Amino acid sequence: MRNIKLTIEYDGTNYSGWQIQENGPSIQAELEKALLLITKENCKVAGSGRTDAGVHARGQVASFMTNSRIPEDRFAYAMNSVLPQDIVIKDSREVDSGFHARYSAVGKKYSYILLNSRFPSPLLRHYAYHITYCEKLDIESMRQAAACFIGPHDFYGFMSAGSKVTDTVRTIYDIQIAKEADQVKLVFRGNGFLYNMVRIMTGTLLDAGIGKIQAAAMPGIIASKDRRRAGSTAPAHGLYLDEVYY
């Protein structure tokens, strides 16, 4: 059998998340339906991670096994011809049989988009988290707080309830925060992220941006492993999975 790797971009607005669920449409289900149409096989698609409802992706990665003889680069064209317009295969290629989209990954890059303006934007309502103008963000304070996340830490306090993960140590390589006009973009790179970890980190950095949390308190908040001391979980619609590293 052949092992095919897909790089996928999608708008998560209309989906209940990556994973197949009974309560709504999912990205995984749409991909598997498309593969059934073009290969006549029930291909099981494995993703690099399970993005939540409303989360978007610029570089989600998936893999599947198939007996189909479709040329590797043509899977993208064939699947795009039957997928909904809010899911696009950006690249398809054959990889070694040992490759697995999830278990072969060594890191990920996420970004989070904030709209810091007096009024919300109807055009960005599904793609950026609106922070009211009265909460003018202190970008430098956010950067100082973000620096405390860099390196290996036990991020137990930055994980939502319901995760079955037992090893909660992750290494953050880099966090960049940039402001352009009324948009603020946070970019996170690390060897892995816990359930809702990026959204909780974002909520915590927002607290630093409005003066609710001081950067000097961040090491203690991380070390406490107490979810109550971190910030709120930022909404899903501002989050993007940008890239998966292998």
What residue ranges define each of the domains in the chain, with the CATH number in brackets?
2-95 (3.30.70.580), 107-245 (3.30.70.660)
Residue 221 has pLDDT above 90, yes or no: yes
Query: 92-96, 114-118, 160-164: which range is least confident on average?
Result: 160-164
The pLDDT of residue 146 is 98
pLDDT for 135 beyond 90: no
Question: What is the rounded distance in angstroms from the CA atom of residue 26 to the CA atom of residue 96?
Answer: 27
Reported as half-sphere exposure (CB side, CA atoms, 13 A), residue 92 has a value of: 20
Q: Residues 139, 108: contact at Cβ < 8 Å?
A: no
- The mean pLDDT value for 187-202 works out to 98
* Catalytically active residues, by annotation: 52
* pLDDT tens profile 19-74: 998 889 999 999 999 999 999 999 999 999 999 999 999 999 999 999 999 999 99
pTM of structure: 0.95
> Which stretch of DSSP H or E encloses residue 130?
strand 129-132
- Give residue-wise pLDDT tens across range 101-116: 999 999 999 999 999 9
- 162 pLDDT exceeds 90? no
Integer Cα distance of 113 and 199 in angstroms? 11
* Distance from C-alpha of 163 to C-alpha of 150, rounded to nearest angstrom: 23
* 29 within 8 A of 20, measured Cβ to Cβ: yes
